[in-house]
Structures are given as C-alpha cells and as structure tokens.
Structure 1
Amino acid sequence: MFTGLSAFPLTPVSETDVDESAFFDLVARLDRAGVDSIGALGSTGSYAYLTREQRRRLAEVAVRAAGRTPVLVGIGGLRTVDVLRHAEDAQAGGASAVLLAPMSYQPLTDEEVYDLYADVTATLSVPLVVYDNPGTTHFTFSDELHGRIAALPRVGSIKIPATPADPQAARERVEQLRARIPSHVTIGVSGDPAAAGGLLAGCDAWYSVLGGLWPQACLALTRAAQRDDPDTASSISDDLAPLWELFGDYGSLRVVSAIAEQMGLVGAPNLPRPLQGLPDGARHRVDQAVRGLAPILARH
C-alpha cells in the first residue's frame, strides 16, 4: 500500500457543498487505472476547508468508489481532539490508512508535533502516513524527529517534500532519512517535478497530485523507476515539464483544478473560497500545455 503510485484526487467544492458525484467519478477513474493507492482528502483534496461531516461523507464515498484499491484518508486538524475525531471517522468509513500533517495556527514545537503523532497512533487500528509538507504547514521536520515519530506504532510511511534535483544529492537525502527510520517504514516523495528523481534515488512511493488526474502517465513513470529504467522515467518527467512549470508558477492545486474543469471532470467553481481558479491568462497557458501534451498522454 505504501509503495508505487499513490494518486491524490481533487475534491470539487462549490460555494455551498461538495460535488460528491464528481468526486466519486474522480476516485473511480483511479481505481480503473490501477494505481497502487488513492489519497483522499490530502492537500489537493482541500481537507482543511471542509467540515467534519463533509470529510466523513467523502471518506465513505472514496472507499466505495475505490473498489479494491487502498484509500488513505487525510485526518489533519488544528486541535488534537479534532484529529482524533477525523481518524475515528476515516476508520469507520473503511480507510486502509490515514494521512496526518501537523496543521497549526500558532507555530508548533518538535515536542508538540511528536505528541500529536503519539496521541493519534495510540488510538489507530490502521497504519498512518506522516505528511511532511512545509509548504502548507510551515513546519519543518528534522530527521531526528522523523526517526522518533517513525518508531511509534502504526506508522507505515513518510511523505517527504521534493528531493534535490542532483541525483547524487537526492540519493544522499533518501539514505540520510532511511538511516533514521525503521526498515518497515517506507519513504514516499511528493512534489511531482521531483518524482522521477526521488523514485530513482530510492524512494518507495510517489504521493502524486498529477496522478489524481492523469494516472496512466504517472503509472508509466513509476513503473519505469521501479524496474530501474532511469532513461524512461526521466524522459516521461521531462515530457511533463510544461506542467511542472505551471505548478511552480500557480500551484499544483489551481492547475489541476483548471485541467479537471477543462476535461469536463468537474464543474466550476470547484475550489473552496477564498481560493479561486486561475485567471484567463493562466488558463490559456494551461490549455496550450495540455494540447501540447496530448500526444504524450495518448502513449500511456
């Protein structure tokens, strides 16, 4: 479950509610594509903007739509008591694992983050993925803290930020973390432009935004890396460079939102206010990039 491609779908959100039907279809597409797991209610899934009831229902929808594909459900919240409630709901809804980022308003200390994971893992009956995403949480894990948390019961994987672009530096980064954590805990790379490099450097999984939209191309990249075919994996990533540039300019969530809308997979608006979709000029860039990538996507 914590190896290969974990695809994170968009959660289409209107001004008043969540489009559960469109969300079901997005998740079902991933199951049909054969992804290794599905990450519901991650950052791409806008979990932080949703009520407990919405999150509970979406966890149930995701598990139902995913068929036999394991579903990881995001349980992050500002207060430990809320995280525990989300964990309870995710498990009751059939989640195969939960995903936890250390959300905060007041900056958290290392000890507070450790205690959060200790409190949550003590109650779980399913594995937990540690979500290390300083771009959204503004908390930076040290490797020492990762090692302490990874030794807790039920921790199954760590979702790390992008590895360095230099291959040797990427290998050293993965090896450095690997030396700190138990052997049964996998390392998964996020930051889609770094996926090929991270997998080739020894990461076990790719926790992917783009995989939630274009699973076939992302599976092709993942499988190439898994069979130790760096040329193919890097070539696919290079082909996707126009998207990586857009991710860097506008953020992956807004770009994926625009593409999903263009493909007719979701309606508009589909992001929770105050988040807004891309302006017209940026949408034109996205449209051009998608048209240019059509022949590449057709091969996968």
Structure 2
Amino acid sequence: MDPRELGLPSAVASPESDDVPAEVTIWEVGPRDGLQNESGIVPLDVKLEFLERLAVAGLPVVETTSFVHPEWVPQLADAVELFGELRRADGVRYPVLVPNSRGLDRALESGVDDIAIFASATETFTRRNLNRGLDEQFVMFDPVVRHAVAEGLNVRGYVSMVFGDPWEGPVAVDQVVSVGQRLLDMGCSQISLGDTIGVATPGHVETVIRAFVAAGVPLHRLAVHFHDTYGQALGNTYAALRLGVSTVDASAGGLGGCPYAGSATGNLATEDLVWMLEGLGIRHGVDLRSLADTSVWMAEHLGKPSPSAVVKALAR
C-alpha cells in the first residue's frame, strides 16, 4: 500500500491521559533561522512566497527575518525591503530578530510589532557572537527590550547554548536559569531554550525545564528550540511536552544547520513535529500536506532535498 493512503496518524493517547498540552503553538523559524544558513542568496520574491505559503498552511507564528547589519548575515540583508513588501495574513504573527538598538530602530521604522533578541547561556559564545561577556550582553539588551516594550512590541528572548557549548562543554543548569530569568525580568514575554549544537537528550531537557519551574517561571513563558544533530530533536520535544511546555520552535522542511557542529542536520522539521502532534491528539492548526508541499517547493529553489523524514515520506 502507498504510505500516503494511510492518511495522517490517529491520536493514540488523549492529552488528558498523557500529560501533554491540549494545544501547541508552533513557532516557525524557517524564513529566518533556516534561510540564514544558506550560502546562496535566496531571491526576495521567493522569500515572500515562502512566507505566504507558510501562513496559508496555518502556521500561527512565522519568524520573518533579522534586522542585523547586512554584512553580518548577507542572506537577510533585504530585511527592510522584505518586511515592506510582506502581505501579512490575518491572525499570523511575524516576529523579527533584532541584535541591538540600531536593529530595533530599523524594525520600528518598518512597522514591526513583534521582536526577538538572541542571548547566550555561556561566556565563550557570547564573546564570539556578540563581542561581549556573559553579563555585558544584558547591558546591551536592556535598552532594546525596554524601548520595544514601551513602543508596545512583544519581545521574545532566545537563550542559546542551553544544553552544551562547543568550547565550554556542558553548561551549568543554574547558569541557564539565571540567564533566562534575567531576560524575563527585563521584559521578555517568553524565552526559547535553544539546543544550539543539538546535543541535548530528553533527561537533560527535563532537568532544565524542572529547574525553571522550581525557580518560579511559569511554563507558558518557556519555549523549546531543538537541532537534530544527533537525531534527538523529536524525543527532546516530547520530553518538554510531557512537562507542559506548549510552544515549540521548528523549521519547515528542517531548514537550517549549526555552524558549530559539522554533522548538524538543521532545526527540528516542522512536518516531523506536526506528525508527532497529530499522533498525540494535540491541536496545532497546521495543514501538514500544504506545509510539506511548501518544503518540497523551497527545496527545489535551494537545489537540495529536505532532510525532513515526513517530507520525504509524503513526497514519494
């Protein structure tokens, strides 16, 4: 039998009986976190169609671009033009990443109303990525967050290197919690816990999330962001869901990669996540086949196949 004739998986356990959320918000990062790692510049019209397709597929949040200096990330140098031409779908959020106050000014001039900042849980990565120390990064972010909140913007905080750092190795859980709490206290509405190099395992994920809960952080203010370097992204996501986390970052078709680990295969694929959520009976609002078709379309533009197992299965 053709696997496509089997349709989507039926729920094998109810959310009530399996201690998972009844509904999950998928935070789509493909247009920003996925495409920024592509060496070939993706044309503006392709990016705009990609964003439109993702919205049509039912993604409630589509992280659109980053207002970084064009020399830092050439792929996203068209941020102002992209956001200027973007046709925003009703009910869809289009957050952007901003690195500093200048980036925020450019975002505000473009009419952005949802931003994210990118912090680190380790000293070494903070210095390599931001040219600042672990504590100094907050001095840079504080005016950005306060200005954004004063302008009525929603602010998300990314915490990178939560589960491991390629230079420092394992990261102390209390250090991760401290960084996350400082971002929340600063005014971030939510923090996304990033497994930047894909080394996390489910037990480690549980330990970190439980530590945040023990520190008094509500679960709705936590999100998870996994890379699939060691094939653990779905297992790690399930561990987070079992603890009550209800926002999961993912990238259509598994776009993206990690420059700090040669074997990295990119972000958790949105299609793989949706397939698992379907089987758990968790609401998510995404049309899987429409999304998979979009990932196949984008893969053709990029000239390489999608690494997503579900995209490959549905495309047969």
Shorter-chain TM-score range:
0.5 to 0.7
Question: Which of the residues 238, 242, 246 maps onto 1:204?
Answer: 246
Aligned to 1:97: 114
Aligned to 1:170: 205
Larger RCO, structure (CA 8 Å, separation 6 or more): 2
Aligned to 1:235: none
- Structure 2 unmatched runs, 5+: 1-22, 120-125, 256-268, 284-294
Letter in 2 for 1:220: W
Q: How does 1:10-89 map to 2 (within 5 A)?
A: 10=31, 19-41=43-65, 48-50=72-74, 54-62=78-86, 64-76=87-99, 83-89=100-106
After TM superposition, give the deviation of residue 91 of structure 1 in Å. 3.7
Is 1:263 paired with 2:305?
A: no
Deviation larger for 119-128 or 181-190: 181-190
How has the CA–CA distance of structure 1 residues 261 and 200 changed in structure 2, closer, same or farther, with 3 Å as cutoff?
Answer: closer
Query: Could you tell me the TM-score, scaled by structure 2's length?
Result: 0.59
Tell me, in whole angstroms, the C-alpha distance in 2 between the residues paired with 1:171 and 1:16.
38
Query: Could you tell me the TM-score, scaled by structure 1's length?
Result: 0.62
Letter in 2 for 1:5: I
Please report the RMSD computed on the Cα atoms of aligned residues, expressed in angstroms.
Answer: 4.3
How has the CA–CA distance of structure 1 residues 104 and 67 changed in structure 2, closer, same or farther, with 3 Å as cutoff?
Answer: farther
Aligned to 1:9: 30
Aligned to 1:110: 134
Q: How does 1:144-293 map to 2 (within 5 A)?
A: 144-161=178-195, 162=198, 164-165=200-201, 167-180=202-215, 182-183=217-218, 184-192=220-228, 193-202=231-240, 203-210=245-252, 215-224=270-279, 227=282, 262-264=299-301, 286=305
After TM superposition, give the deviation of residue 34 of structure 1 in Å. 0.8
Instruction: Report the count of equivalent residues.
Output: 241
How has the CA–CA distance of structure 1 residues 227 and 16 changed in structure 2, closer, same or farther, with 3 Å as cutoff?
Answer: closer
After TM superposition, give the deviation of residue 189 of structure 1 in Å. 2.3
> Which one has a larger percent helix, Structure 1 or Structure 2?
1
Letter in 2 for 1:149: L
Q: Secondary structure at the match of 2:95?
A: strand
8 Å CA contact 1:96–1:127 kept in 2: the answer is yes
After TM superposition, give the deviation of residue 31 of structure 1 in Å. 0.5
Deviation larger for 207-216 or 147-156: 207-216
Q: Secondary structure at the match of 1:71?
A: coil
After TM superposition, give the deviation of residue 222 of structure 1 in Å. 4.0
Q: Secondary structure at the match of 1:70?
A: coil
Letter in 1 for 2:300: M
After TM superposition, give the deviation of residue 223 of structure 1 in Å. 4.8
Letter in 1 for 2:246: D
Question: Which of the residues 155, 158, 170 maps onto 1:128?
Answer: 155
How has the CA–CA distance of structure 1 residues 211 and 185 changed in structure 2, closer, same or farther, with 3 Å as cutoff?
Answer: farther
8 Å CA contact 2:114–2:155 kept in 1: the answer is yes
Q: Secondary structure at the match of 2:115?
A: strand
8 Å CA contact 1:35–1:219 kept in 2: the answer is no
1:19-74 CA distance string (max 9 Å, x none): 2110011111111111131112269xx99414997222223344x25553111101
Q: Secondary structure at the match of 1:98?
A: strand
Percent identical among aligned pairs is 13
